[in-house]
Amino acid sequence: MASTPPLVHLISVLSLLAPMLAVAEDLFDQDQPLPEILSATRLKQSPAAVPGSVSVIDRALIEASGARDIPELMRLVPGMMVGYAKGNEITVNYHGGQVDSARRMQVLIDGRSVYRPGLATVDWVDLPLAIEDIERIEVFRGPNTVSYGANALTGVISITTRSPANSHGTRLKYTHGQRGIDDWYGSQAFSSGNGDFRLSLSGQQDSGFDRTDIEDTYRDSRRNTRMHFSATHALDDSQTLDWQLAAKEGSNQKNIYSDEEALISGIVPNGDTNRDLKARDYSASMRWSLDTSSTHNLQIQAYAQRWERVQEFGICDLALSFTPEVAALHRLNPDTLDTLSRLLRRGRANLINELITDPEQNALANTISSNFSSVGGEFKAPVCGKINNNINENRYDIELQDTLSLSDELRLLSGVSYRKDTADSQTYFQGGLQNEVWRLFGHLEWHLSEHFVLQGGSMFETDTLSGDSLTSRIALNYLITPRHGIRLVYSEAVRSPDMQENNVNWSYLIENLNPNLNGRDSAYYYATAQGPGNLQQEIMRSREIGYNGQFDFGLQIDIKLFNEEIHRLIAEPLDITEFVQNNDNYMWFRGAETEVDWALTASDRLRLTYAYVDFETSEKSYQRLTARYSGSAGYLRDWGGGWSSSLFYYGADLLNERRFERADLRIAKRFNFGKSDLELALMMQQRLDDEALTWRENLYDQRRMVSVSAQLEF
């Protein structure tokens, strides 16, 4: 006897519960306006009708959290994992992944992607945006390739900045605290003619972690200054024009503590301990919107941005490391070269024939050993020079979007876009590399009845470097009332291999050699890496059952059950000494998430999140930033008389095999001086565990951090 599909069972249960649940519609005041989700499908939708889970971090929550960085705000999102490679290197992964990279989530600022095309990452500490300029953040928790393209494999973080029209006046803010915190912010917003304008200038700095686990001083501070100019024009009753300019300049400290990068450590002196990264970001964007009628809207958005990264430093190694035999052995088997270097370092060259049995590798190993042990010692002499990790990346994007209400029950969104990415680096690509992407997308929302909403979306992409792809999503939302909905979602998504994974031509040219090598003042280092060039796109299949409820007494609840599978996973570390990229891995996640946001009274707000993630992966390093249990709790209180407070708890059982627990307290007092307001705030973070943060080297001297801020508005 054939079994009944689970979907049929669920729909049957819903049909039986519908008459009882519909009674709830009469228990509350239904005249209050529904909140809106703006970015999930590019259509404005009520939370109950969205085909997926969305977390909203509003302005009040941003201020109450006391966060200085967007990644810290992501701790408020269920299932989001925040990791620190260093104090100035932060990663954000939804459900998990590698600690030192996050390549599968799209990040947008007012619709502009800040996902770097060449090295495929988001530089969270280098975004040209102050947290004071953010109005709200919507996080779509799940694959959303159908709306935002191939990088939106696991989710989308959509950041909306404050409108100039709603932020008139002057704002000045200064924050100072432990761990070298010294931030400043100033903005001026005004009207002129048919436009509203805001100019923001800001700076941010801190000293990062205090020390490593072997008591070395940690050079991981950051310093940056930012400019953000935003303008909006009401051209007439049916047209608006918005445009922005942004720039950022700063430096992030980098260093190395030993000569461990040398072919044979302990033989040559260290290179530079100062390997600071200079970062400059520039962007310009424009959005034109036209309402041709009450049921039809056209929108054109275009932007250009540039990332500049300069990192140059001195390095020393043996003359031996520049010989063709060492380069050939590394190409054959980097592990064999590593074995040989250990034997030579320990004076055990007599074990070469025993441990290195492959004939070709054995012959090279013995030649290298003979050179190393030569009487003249010329190959053991140190050679020093200059090396760089410089890269410039550019992105140009233009998009046309059409939104049409075909009837009261049917809405169609469609669009087309073109994007060009370029990367220029002598080290990573031996020059320049470019990619072009065309996209055609659409989303259909059909209200089958008062209670059922059927939605479908698709995205077709043609990518010069990765080929063509077609992804889709289908969802059925059962609206118990307009404020309460149960959703069933099936999505397929892809991620295109990035330039570094698939197309890298990675080699280091050492210049200004001292002494010269056979009369040459430059030479290539032995370690090189070549991208395979034929990597396939990663594929994700996601199934979700969820509930979203908006109660009129201030309670909002979202519950999600999920099953996500990623196939053809590109998971090998991006390490030049062992670069083996392939599609041989997989990863799946199953679990549950919940989010509760409750305005208990006009003065009290409670927010709770929890995520349980069961996972399996063929790549061990991908288990490290996946916490099986994680969550947060926050309580916001307005005490009256200008006093307010907020208390947050964040916890995760294992982040890179380390427990994380922290409590944050913020107390603020606002003073009114006629047309001016002054707010003084105290912020305290208290670690509740004794672990390093993500990596064992990431240690603070004190588990407590205190900072103060003053903000003046007039």
Q: What are the sequence ranges of the domains in the chain?
A: 6-311+389-497+535-713, 318-385
3-class secondary structure, 535: coil
DSSP assignment of 170-197: EEEEEEEETTTEEEEEEEEEEEETTEEE
Q: Which two tokens stand for residue 206?
A: 């801190």
| Cis status, amide bond into 515, omega within 30 of 0 | yes
Distance CA 46, CA 524 (A): 58
Q: At what angle do helices 359-372 and 334-345 cross, to 10 degrees?
A: 40
DSSP assignment of 685-708: EEE-S---SSSTT-B-S-SEEEEE
The segments of the chain whose pLDDT lies below 50 read 1-29, 259
- CA-nearest of 279, 578, 523, 218 to 387 is 523
Q: Cβ–Cβ contacts within 10 Å for residue 413, how many?
A: 19
- Architecture field, domain 6-311+389-497+535-713: Beta Barrel (2.40)
DSSP assignment of 584-618: -EEEEEEEEEEEEEE--SSSEEEEEEEEEEEEEES
Which contiguous run of DSSP H or E holds residue 481?
strand 467-481
| pLDDT tens per residue, range 553-574 | 999 999 999 999 999 999 888 8
* Per-residue CA distances from 706 to 87, 525, 647, 703 (Å): 17, 46, 14, 10
Number of H helices, E strands in the chain: 10, 33
Residue 65 has a pLDDT of 97
574 φ, ψ (degrees, to nearest 5): -90, 75
Residue 669 has a pLDDT of 98
Range list of β-strands (E), 24-76 = 53-58
Distance CA 650, CA 62 (A): 15
Residue 255 has a pLDDT of 76
- Tell me how long the chain is: 714
Distance CA 251, CA 621 (A): 29
Q: Which two tokens stand for residue 248?
A: 């950022």
Residue 570 has a pLDDT of 92
Amino acid at 546: G
Distance CA 12, CA 504 (A): 53
Range list of β-strands (E), 105-149 = 105-109, 112-113, 134-141
Residue 625 has a pLDDT of 72
Q: Which two tokens stand for residue 173?
A: 């803010």
Residue 376 has a pLDDT of 66
- CA-nearest of 162, 204, 205, 206 to 187 is 162
- Block residue for tokens 């565990």: 689
Distance CA 7, CA 175 (A): 53
| pLDDT tens per residue, range 449-493 | 999 999 999 999 999 999 999 999 999 999 999 999 999 999 999
356 φ, ψ (degrees, to nearest 5): -115, 100
Distance CA 580, CA 568 (A): 14
Give the CA dihedral 515, 521, 525, 529, nearest 10 degrees: 170
Distance CA 557, CA 548 (A): 6
Give strand pairing partners of 95.
none
Residue 99 has a pLDDT of 61
120: left (phi over 0), alpha (psi -120 to 50) or beta: left
Inter-residue contact 228 to 244 (CB < 8 Å)? yes
Inter-residue contact 72 to 80 (CB < 8 Å)? no
Distance CA 654, CA 98 (A): 13
Residue 584 has a pLDDT of 94
- Block residue for tokens 């932060």: 90
